[in-house]
Structure 1
Amino acid sequence: MKIVTAIPVKERPANWVPNVNYIENDDGAPSLCKKLNKALEWAKEQEADWLCWHHDDLEIQTPELVEPNLRRAYADGVRVGGVIGALTVFVPQWWQNNRPVMTWGAIIQGYKDGREQLMADQPGYMPNMAIVDGCVLWIHRDMFDVRVDDYGMHLYDDDICFRALQRGHKVACLDVRCKHLSEGGYEFKDYQEASDRFMDYWRARAEFPVISGQKFKEIKNV
């Protein structure tokens, strides 16, 4: 199994890791959506089986579990995986506090002051997700020809998951432990505009709430 790794960054770090593709702003991809599309193109050129895309502040703490999870996921029809997400999508903001039981997965949330917080909804493998968070994604080669719409720094993860479901594939939460050193945050107006465009596009193609296995609508000449 050939897994290649791409990490979106503003510029390549001083302590860069060999054989990792750091997709920089200077590559003509200032947004995360454009960076993901470039990563998909690159993974296809590398003739990889899976692309591992993750933020530069994410650590995969159990790398030995990645391949067994991906083999199981592929056999289950999964073509996009992550470690935490939602079983159904009403609106894109699934990650907010007081998350309902529709969420699944676990991740260690790290903070710059050294603190750690375990975000554990329903840990373990689940091959019937609607979306998974884009801090870490495993994307199969069957999806390398897909291109997500450009929502700037937002919603690339929701978009790639919906495109997998649209093709009849599954999205999975993998049983891999990761730590994400990010406290989040975004400019509300910018995100809301992106969210509105995302919902306008996908409401024409899917019945909300979206769940795994749902049949998407065929839209011609759009």
Structure 2
Amino acid sequence: MSESVSGIAPDERPPLEPTDAGGLDAAGALALLCAGAITVTGRLVDASNATLYCEISHDGVVGHCVYKPVRGERALWDFPDGTLAGREQAAYLVSEATGAGIVPPTVLRDGPFGAGMVQLWIDTDETVDLVALTRSDDPQLRAIALFDAVVNNADRKGSHLLPGPSGRIYGIDHGVTFHAENKLRTLLWTWRGQRLRADELELLTRLRVALSASGAEPP
């Protein structure tokens, strides 16, 4: 997302590393997610809600994605029914507005089982020890910790962090975010008690201005 659109200066890195996304860049990924034909090929059985692994194709471009139909969302006592997919897309939009590129390209659209969230599949580096990673002081994790505080993430698990082959770390599974009450729950505590840096305060200020300009209510 450009500065003229979001009011946020873009990160020096591209918003999506093609080596992590089957060769797709951010623009190509979004075009594919929006217009592609979705074919369900599997299911991620460890997920709490219906989470389907799919092939997606359009105009000769083929990729993979995760599709979470609204009808497959498990009811939660503290979140309104049928809202998790929308919260996932909202988390992507906030990620893009910050320029951090944390959340893979994500859209809301119809699929084989109705409306739902469709998110680009990210390849991962299986050699990375997730336990060691979450206990490290990798600056990418600090950025994710700040992002989680902004979106009020109620479910940051180690398995929700995807270390890509490029070395970039992505965050997924943001269905339980944006609650009106404080719900932050995370394992990223390396920076607890530390003050925000000047650049982080500046980013949050710009994000607040951008949300206000868009008509959204700032957190």
TM-score, normalising length from structure 1? 0.30
Which of structures 1 and 2 has the larger relative contact order (alpha carbons within 8 angstroms, sep 6+)?
1
- Whose helix fraction is larger, Structure 1's or Structure 2's? 2
- Whose strand fraction is larger, Structure 1's or Structure 2's? 1
TM-score, normalising length from structure 2? 0.31
